[in-house]
Amino acid sequence: MKPFELTEDLQTGIDDIDNQHRKLLSWANFLAADDADTTVQKVTETLDNLQDYVAYHFQTEEQAMDKYGYDKLDKHRKQHHRLLNEVTDLFSRSRGKEASKGTLVELQYMLTDWIQLHIKEWDQPFAAFLKSKNIPSSVSLTE
């Protein structure tokens, strides 16, 4: 299966956000990688890391939105909360059964669809807001 990538149409132009999205996609790709060494333990560790990183990514975005006075912070935060609950539920259900290749591929598709939709509907407008405030693409959002 071809891995999903952060294509140009999914980039925000804000380095920290784009790099975090790449990391999220790399973990989603790992779940469906055609690797004979992929064990249930590795999948569980990846799900744990991915879940933690999703929370970290959302926190990074929300702190930046607050710092720069983004007027849609409350709506974005509610979207993050809803998505984090969905991710937590999805991962819990995935842990509850043997991680078959089909299940992992399905999980990869669900995650990448979710990431793509979130980027286009929520993160790209925030990036446009930052650019309208002349915030450079190299700004560190994690400080």
Domains and CATH numbers, the chain: 38-132 (1.20.120.50)
Query: Between 22 and 89, where is the model more confident?
Result: 22
pLDDT for residue 99: 56
- pLDDT at residue 43 is higher than 90: no
Tens-place pLDDT, residues 2-31? 678 889 999 999 999 999 999 988 888 877
- Asked if 76 and 62 touch (Cβ cutoff 8 Å), the reply is yes
Distances, alpha carbon 142 to alpha carbons 19, 64, 107, in Å: 12, 8, 28
Q: What whole-number distance in Å separates Cα of residue 13 and Cα of residue 44? A: 32
- Using alpha carbons only, how large is the chain's radius of gyration in Å? 16
Tens-place pLDDT, residues 66-77? 999 999 999 999
pLDDT for residue 71: 96
Q: What whole-number distance in Å separates Cα of residue 116 and Cα of residue 21? A: 9
- pLDDT at residue 96 is higher than 60: no
Distances, alpha carbon 66 to alpha carbons 9, 32, 59, 71, 142, in Å: 26, 36, 10, 9, 13
pLDDT for residue 44: 76
The pTM of the full predicted model, rounded to 2 decimals, is 0.84
Query: Between 100 and 118, where is the model more confident?
Result: 118
- pLDDT at residue 107 is higher than 70: yes
**142 CB-near residues (< 8 Å, 6+ apart):** 16, 60
- pLDDT at residue 100 is higher than 70: no
Q: What mean pLDDT, rounded, does the chain reach? A: 84
